[in-house]
């Protein structure tokens, strides 16, 4: 049965489970990037939600420093969303009911990561080849009482596109939302996404479906919404390169500049993380911000030589002052 309806406008609010996301332009989880300071920034600019970096459901039991940094949040983050990776339903259930995930409102299950070591472990995109196991994982997470979303691809390759069956399973198992990356696993991050299949997923379920993949401009975002009929979009690398796009897409007025954003990121990261983690993160963010600026090769060399927050701030002011 197809479920069609009025097309959503880009930037409007959307209900996910019992939660109201203030806009339907979301920031994807990105390993190494979507830390707490970054999530605060994009939400301030209009993102409806932003997810933690990918966290191992099994790794939570070790209580190590790296995982604690991935899970860092505080009351400044209103809707808290964590993304979990794994393959064992009981491990997911233990994780989502644990004290460490108690602050989080939304559990996002990674069923789309195409990286070889993840797939070999039966995690990420491999779960699209084991639909009964994927269903049990969603059901296990729902037993926590939290809102549950799933991020997936179309299938393993073009001869194994299973998104229609998979979307139906997600809804039947209790998922509150589905984000579909419009590529197969073997496409990795290259090639034009197959947006018609995202439209198909949207047509066969009633839960919100978000389109992801290949969105690298405001124009492309609007085109993807039109092509897929999705309830919203999820930005990945472009959201990191140009976070001001969230304000542009949601119609939010802002006086922020790349300089004001990057210096605030340095300040917030310094409150939450040690100096080495802060410098590493802000240097990566600054490199992304410089991606399409002319003559930045020398600045990038200087950027990576900075050994203190003070040095880094001075250089950032020099780079982004114009």
Contact 163, 111 (CB under 8 A): no
Phi, psi (degrees; rounded to nearest 5) at 185: -60, -40
Collapse the DSSP code of 155 into the 3-class scheme (helix H, G, I; strand E, B; otherwise coil) and give the result. strand
Q: Is 306 annotated as catalytic? A: no
What the block records as the tokens of 254 is: 């802002």
Separation of alpha carbons 183 and 191, rounded Å: 8
Closest CA to 123 of 88, 156, 91, 80: 88
Structural element, H or E, at residue 118: helix 116-120
Exactly one of 35, 81, 113, 170 is catalytic; which is it?
Answer: 113
What the block records as the tokens of 53 is: 């970096």
Supply the DSSP string of 157-213, one letter for each residue. SGGGB-HHHHHHHHHHTT-SEEEEESS-GGGTT-S---HHHHHHHHHH-SS-EEEES
Catalytic residues: 113
């Amino acid at each position: 049965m197809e479920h069609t309806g009025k097309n959503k406008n880009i930037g409007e609010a959307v209900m996910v489970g019992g939660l109201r996301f203030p806009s339907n332009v979301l920031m994807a989880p990105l390993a190494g990037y979507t830390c707490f300071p970054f999530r605060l920034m994009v939400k301030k600019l209009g993102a409806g939600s932003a997810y933690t970096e990918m966290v191992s459901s099994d790794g939570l039991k070790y209580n190590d420093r790296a995982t604690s940094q991935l899970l860092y949040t505080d009351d400044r983050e209103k809707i808290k969303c964590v993304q979990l990776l794994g393959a064992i339903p009981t491990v997911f259930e233990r994780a989502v009911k644990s004290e460490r995930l108690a602050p989080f409102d939304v559990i996002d299950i990674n069923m789309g990561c195409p990286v070889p070591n993840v797939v070999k472990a039966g995690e990420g995109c491999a779960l699209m080849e084991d639909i009964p196991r994927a269903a049990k994982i969603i059901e296990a997470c729902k037993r926590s009482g939290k809102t549950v979303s799933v991020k997936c691809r179309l299938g393993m390759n073009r001869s194994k596109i299973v998104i229609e069956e998979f979307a139906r399973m997600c809804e039947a198992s209790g998922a509150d939302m589905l984000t579909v990356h419009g590529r197969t696993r073997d496409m990795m991050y290259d090639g034009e996404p197959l947006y018609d299949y995202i439209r198909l997923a949207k047509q066969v379920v009633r839960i919100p479906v978000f389109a992801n993949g290949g969105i690298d401009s405001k124009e492309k975002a609007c085109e993807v919404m039109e092509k897929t009929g999705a309830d919203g979009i999820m930005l990945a690398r472009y959201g990191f390169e140009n976070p001001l796009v969230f304000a542009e897409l949601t119609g939010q007025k802002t006086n922020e500049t790349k300089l004001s954003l990057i210096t605030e990121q340095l300040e917030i990261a310094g409150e939450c993380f040690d100096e080495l983690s802060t410098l590493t993160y802000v240097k990566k963010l600054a490199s992304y911000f410089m991606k399409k600026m002319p003559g930045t090769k020398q600045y990038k060399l200087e950027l990576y030589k900075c050994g203190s927050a003070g040095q880094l701030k001075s250089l950032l002011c020099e780079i982004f002052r114009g």
